[in-house]
């Protein structure tokens, strides 16, 4: 990206969101969108597997194999292990495990993996996000595929009271479990290991299939058995819903499974974002077409989903979205849908309503944003060449400010600690504050969206 007089969009978005995120997230997001895969299918970096020739000497997970272990790595890429091989991400060909984790061969001629998990221990950077691989009675700790000094160790040296020859393991952060924990599976027994106290509680979940691998993905827990998986509660082991399900429909891209159809990656001159927002829980969303992505889920990899996966009432995408008072206001055409920001994204009774009835503005909305979250009760609504201020604390709500803009046809808007960003097709504009935007009479320089930002074709 060429140098600009204002901070680059990359620098600004990294400042607004966690610094570990870069514009690679946008590239992953847009590539996921244009692939057009089903909402149930996770997306990752594009590989050359689909439509390619499978090496007959390598196992093919689309045949319906049973995995030995599954874990995300420190970058959120999901790694699937089977025998001496692994697959990195949700699609792509198999490779030998020792190509990434060469020390596994020091313990066996061909390094199999019994269980694997990624450590969640934010209070201890020495092992947080390290990948732990278990092989018979040994444990290996890796970061960026480098073996940590002192490993491999006896499992009991690192995890007292945890048995050898495990079936599966999975991280369970505090809030999802009582404390930051690791769940170790052997048969129907689950050894719940408290990371801080090193105490172990044993539970027996005979109702759950014997898991050969377990994955925590986007705050949900999946027990893999055969070529199927079963979703379960990490505290009680409870299974709710219609399970088991075939993993090939959800956790990999396979011919005749799922509903994927590839599409050509668009040119950067064709990029278009519909809405951007951050909810009151800190979850960060991008919307484009019928798809959305959660950017704060980078530890699980970046994936796009159909909007109807989370907000089933929004069958035709969104025009603008903003968050206020633990609710998401999602606008399409002349309607506003208000959802509780809960696990089920519950539509509030009586909605949708007209935007006029809810916000005092007639017709379609192009973009919307709040600054300073719930500390500021004013939502800024962009419609054509005007920006309207609406006081959300007032009843009834009505327009309190009307400012002409030097721009029109804005697609999306975002406000953060480094200012306001307006997106218009393949370009973006930066303003220091909403006040600056309201009183500006000349448009600032338009900065082009580039391949580095969204993975599009130059």
Question: Computed over its alpha carbons, how large is the radius of gyration of the chain?
Answer: 24
pLDDT of residue 280: 80
pLDDT on residue 167: 98
- Distance CA(83)–CA(94), nearest Å, equals 11
Burial of residue 271, with CB atoms counted within 10 A of its CB: 0-12 exposed, 13-18 middle, 19 or more buried: buried
What mean pLDDT is predicted for residues 363-369?
A: 95
What ranges do the domains of the chain cover?
9-36+264-454, 61-249
Q: For residues 254 and 298, which has the higher predicted lDDT (pLDDT)?
A: 254
Burial of 445 per CB tally in 10 Å (0-12, 13-18, 19+): exposed
What average pLDDT score do residues 418-438 get?
A: 92
Residue-level pLDDT at 252:
86
pLDDT at 399: 93
CATH code, residues 9-36+264-454: 2.110.10.10
What confidence category does residue 285 fall into, taking pLDDT thresholds of 50, 70 and 90?
Answer: confident
Least confident of 22-26, 37-41, 128-132, 453-457: 37-41
pLDDT at 240: 87
Q: Which residues pair with 141 in a beta bridge?
A: 132
The answer to whether residue 455 scores a pLDDT higher than 90 is no
* pLDDT of 56: 56
Q: What is the pTM of this model?
A: 0.67
Q: pLDDT class for 5, splitting at 50, 70, 90?
A: very low
Higher pLDDT, 376 or 393: 393
- How much is the pLDDT for 262? 39
pLDDT for the residue 119: 95
Q: Of 331, 336, 368, give the one whose Cα is nearest residue 352.
A: 336
How far out from the chain centre does Cα 151 lie? 31
Give the per-residue pLDDT at 76. Answer: 86
Give per-residue pLDDT as tens, 57-70: 789 999 999 999 99
| Predicted confidence (pLDDT) at residue 456 exceeds the cutoff of 60 | no
Q: What's the Cα-to-Cα distance from 341 to each of 190, 233, 344, 345, rounded to whole Å?
A: 32, 21, 8, 6
- On average, the pLDDT of the chain sits at 84
Contact 374, 324 (CB under 8 A): yes
Residues of the chain with pLDDT > 90: what percent? 60
Please check whether the two domains, 9-36+264-454 and 61-249, share a CATH topology: yes
Give the range with max mean pLDDT: 33-37, 196-200, 371-375: 196-200
Q: How far apart are the C-alpha atoms of 317 and 327, rounded to whole Å?
A: 18
When mean pLDDT is compared across 70-84, 103-117, 139-153, 340-354, the lowest value belongs to 103-117
Q: Which CATH architecture has domain 61-249?
A: 4 Propeller (2.110)
**Of 11, 6, 10, the residue nearest 26 (C-alpha):** 10
pLDDT category, 336, cuts 50, 70, 90? very high
By residue count, the chain amounts to 458
Confidence band of 28 (pLDDT split at 50, 70, 90): very low
In which band, very low, low, confident or very high, does the pLDDT at 452 lie, cut at 50, 70 and 90? low
pLDDT value of position 311: 94
Check pLDDT > 90 for residue 42: no
User: What is the pLDDT at residue 342?
Assistant: 77
Which of 32-36, 404-408, 435-439, 447-451 is least confident? 32-36
Region of poorest pLDDT, from 246-255, 262-271, 335-344: 262-271
């Amino acid at each position: 990206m060429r140098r600009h007089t204002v901070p680059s969009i990359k620098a600004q978005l990294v400042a607004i969101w966690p610094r570990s995120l870069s514009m690679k997230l946008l590239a992953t997001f847009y590539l996921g969108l244009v692939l057009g895969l089903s909402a149930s299918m996770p997306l990752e970096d594009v590989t050359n597997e689909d439509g390619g020739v499978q090496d007959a000497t390598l196992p093919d997970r689309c045949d319906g194999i049973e995995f030995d272990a599954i874990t995300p790595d420190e970058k959120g890429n999901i790694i699937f292990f089977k025998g001496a091989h692994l697959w990195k991400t949700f699609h792509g060909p198999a490779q030998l495990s020792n190509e990434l984790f060469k020390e596994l061969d020091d313990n066996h001629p061909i390094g199999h993996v019994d269980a694997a998990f990624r450590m969640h221990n934010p209070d201890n950077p020495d092992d947080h996000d390290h990948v732990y691989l278990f092989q018979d009675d040994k444990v290996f700790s890796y970061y960026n595929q480098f073996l940590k000094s002192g490993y491999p160790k006896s499992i009991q040296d690192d995890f007292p009271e945890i048995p050898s020859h495990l079936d599966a393991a999975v991280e369970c952060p505090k809030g999802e479990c009582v404390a930051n924990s690791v769940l170790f599976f052997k048969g129907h027994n689950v050894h719940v290991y408290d990371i801080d106290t090193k105490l172990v509680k044993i539970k027996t979940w005979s109702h759950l299939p014997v898991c050969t691998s377990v994955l925590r993905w986007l705050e949900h827990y999946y027990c893999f058995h055969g070529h199927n998986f079963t979703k379960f509660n990490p505290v009680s082991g409870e299974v709710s819903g219609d399970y088991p399900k075939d993993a090939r429909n959800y956790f990999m891209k396979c011919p005749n499974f799922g509903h994927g159809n590839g599409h050509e990656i668009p040119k950067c001159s064709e990029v278009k974002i519909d809405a951007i927002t951050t909810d009151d829980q800190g979850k960060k969303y991008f919307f484009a077409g019928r798809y959305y992505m959660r950017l704060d889920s980078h530890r699980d990899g970046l994936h796009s989903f159909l909007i109807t996966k989370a907000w089933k009432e929004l069958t035709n995408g969104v025009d603008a979205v903003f968050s206020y008072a633990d609710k998401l206001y999602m606008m399409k055409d002349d309607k506003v849908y208000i959802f509780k920001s809960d696990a089920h994204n519950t539509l509030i009774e009586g909605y949708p309503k007209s935007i006029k009835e809810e916000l005092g503005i007639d017709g379609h909305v192009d973009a919307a944003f709040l600054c300073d979250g719930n500390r500021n009760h004013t939502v800024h609504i962009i419609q054509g060449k005007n920006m309207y201020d609406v006081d959300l604390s007032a009843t009834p709500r009505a327009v309190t400010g009307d400012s002409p803009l030097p721009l029109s046809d804005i697609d999306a808007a975002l406000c953060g600690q480094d200012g306001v960003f307006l997106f218009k097709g393949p370009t973006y504009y930066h303003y220091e504050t909403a006040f600056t935007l309201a009183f500006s009479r000349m448009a600032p320089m338009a900065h082009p969206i580039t391949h580095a930002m969204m993975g599009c074709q130059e």
